[in-house]
Amino acid sequence: MKISDIREAYFRYFSERGHVLIPSAPLVPQNDPTTLFTGSGMQPLIPYLLGKDHPSGQRLVDSQKSFRAEDIEEVGDNRHTTFFEMLGNWSLGDYFKKEQLPWFFGFLTEEIGLDPAKLFVTVFIGDEENGIPRDTESAEIWKQLFALKGIEAKDVVVGSETDAARLGMREGRIFYYDAKKNWWSRAGTPDKMPAGEPGGPDSEVFYDFGTPHDAKFGLECHPNCDCGRFMEIGNSVFMQYIKKEDGTFGELPKANVDFGGGLERIAAASQDNPDVFQIDALVEIIELLEHFSKKPYNDSRHTRSFRIIADHVRAATFMIADGVKPTNVERGYVLRRLIRRASFHAGKLGVQDKDAEDSMLVRASSMIIEKYKHAYPELEGELPAALVRDEIRKEELQFARTLVEGMKAFEAASRDGLSADAVFELVTTHGIPFEMLQELAAERSLAVDSHAFNERMLRHKNVSRAGLEQKFKGGLADTSEKTTRLHTAHHLLLKALQIVLGPHVKQRGSNITQERLRIDFSHGEKVSKEQLAEVERIVNEKIREALPVTHSTIAKERAEGLGAEREFGAKYPDMVSVYSIGPAGANADNPHFENAFSMEFCGGPHVHNTSELSGIFTIKKEEAVAAGIRRIKAILQ
């Protein structure tokens, strides 16, 4: 099946079961400064899984575009990709195990047509030390489902992955694993969870491709083995517990279901082919490369290059469409690395045309846009297509120029034997892909210590991650009182900027910590001291007026008609969450939208009245951050 067919079948199947289709969140997280990219279907919905009401109700379905930078080095085998789609269905305090497991099983076997005899499942073994029971309920449901297909499903206890590699399959179909494999919380296993953190067991479904076991991954094969025989295609998380102050676990008042299924992996299973690069979205790029390179994909000397190009171009296309541009830091660095690795491997295949306007990577990106534009409207139209084409081509040309200087640096470093630090410098500063350095070194009979380089890169990533966490310490994911107060002040500030500078001012980014707020906004020139003073005056005036802050859930069309501010580039469901500030006397039953001082599409949290801001709003800094984009940092003191 084509991925579009599976995606639509999934939406239809769960819509028939009362779920509301919600749009995918962008790859760049909107209100989660703790990570560079949206890396799972769950990530954008965490506030709702933790108890916040979703404007579309308790049953949701979606396909979330996701990117995991940590998988870049893994791309090249038959199942790892950096970009992927995660099919999701969600119960926010509504249904639970007895509905979820039969629904997913039915979708796989009846809608997709997978052979139930090739499906194997895992469940949680329990945690005796923390008083969390074994998930026998899920196991019993699975036994009944398989029995309806004429399959006797034996359950076996394996425990850890190490134990499973020793014990093997033992004719089992339902496997009990420990918390490292079949428990979910944001903090990890139950013993690592802080008080107040929710979590729960999960149940994974694996497809058996029947390929021979590779003993280098363990003595015996089992569903979680990395040998390639089994591929996880879906995981149902049952968030039903919360850790209490005394360290014990209690039941959540409302238990949630969070399901995530890999669209590409389900497509591979539908073909009974363990190579995810043979699904339609990627194989068309591979066929393009085969045609122009005159090299076969199944030649093991070239397979990895085909896969890297197909994956990296797809990921880069979606990143650029979501506003990321190649740079030397953070998201831009990841994008730059993707394009340059793809360009390097295009050179290895002999299809890297340095002069052609429509390079092979540009052609591949056009194929991705054509394949996905109906599902992701941000790819629709000439403007995003031109943006993707221009950014990829510009980075290819920049890479070619960089290599000239990079080769000089390589020649100098190679005279000293290419230490791990030298290799690190060549990769991170000069932008030479590591694989290219390995080939260049081999040509000169030099050894590159990949282990030492990987350790050096890991230290670099840890430092960068710590820096990112410090930079965004207490971001909007933090719902503390201080952050909440500044979030409401942020709304007042945006409206005040529009009053003073003009209606062209739109928010282009924000970050709110417990210490200060930051807003990026569209404006073509420096804001004068007099203008900043007037903005401060307006915000402080609205604080003194003690205006009510009202939350409403209304139709998107109505909110747009009322002029509610919305996040640039964001997509919204048919029913949206709106926060309005003022006028005096407004409340949830009678919000007086037309006379509100400020109204925005927003998920919260906010204070109930501007008087709760209880401080003097002060702008600390105003500066340019990009062409036509200014930044203000402000505090309440």
What is the secondary structure of 247-271 as a DSSP string? Answer: S-EEEEEEEEEEEEEEHHHHHHHHT
Residue-level pLDDT at 476: 55
Q: How many helices (H) and strands (E) does the chain have?
A: 18, 17
Residue-level pLDDT at 342: 94
Domains of the chain: 3-276 (3.30.930.10), 279-471 (no CATH), 481-636 (3.30.980.10)
Q: How far, in Å, CA of 542 to CA of 538, rounded?
A: 6
Nearest to 67 by CA among 30, 91, 93, 36: 36
The partner residues of 581 in beta bridges, in order of sequence, read 549, 598
Nearest to 497 by CA among 606, 355, 408, 598: 598
Six-digit token pair at 391? 């950014």
Which residue type, as a one-letter code, is found at position 158? Answer: V
Query: Which residues 6+ apart lie within 8 Å of 256 measured at CB?
Result: 49, 90, 91, 92, 93, 238, 239, 240
Residue-level pLDDT at 425: 84
Nearest to 174 by CA among 150, 160, 156: 156
From residue 123, alpha-carbon distances to 27, 147, 236, 307, 531 in Å are 30, 18, 10, 33, 61
Element (H, E) at 524: none
Query: Which residues 6+ apart lie within 8 Å of 60 measured at CB?
Result: 19, 20, 21, 22, 45, 54, 88, 89, 90, 92
Q: Which residues of 569-590 are buried (b: 16+ CB within 10 A; e: fewer)?
A: eeebbebbbbbbbbbeebeeee
Residue-level pLDDT at 603: 78
The partner residues of 522 in beta bridges, in order of sequence, read 629
Element (H, E) at 366: helix 360-372
Residues of the chain short of pLDDT 70, as ranges, are 31-34, 354-356, 460-479, 568-571, 627
Residue-level pLDDT at 474: 33
CA-based torsion, 433, 74, 326, 494: positive or negative: negative
Nearest to 111 by CA among 198, 10, 18: 10
Residue-level pLDDT at 483: 85
Which residue type, as a one-letter code, is found at position 519? Answer: I
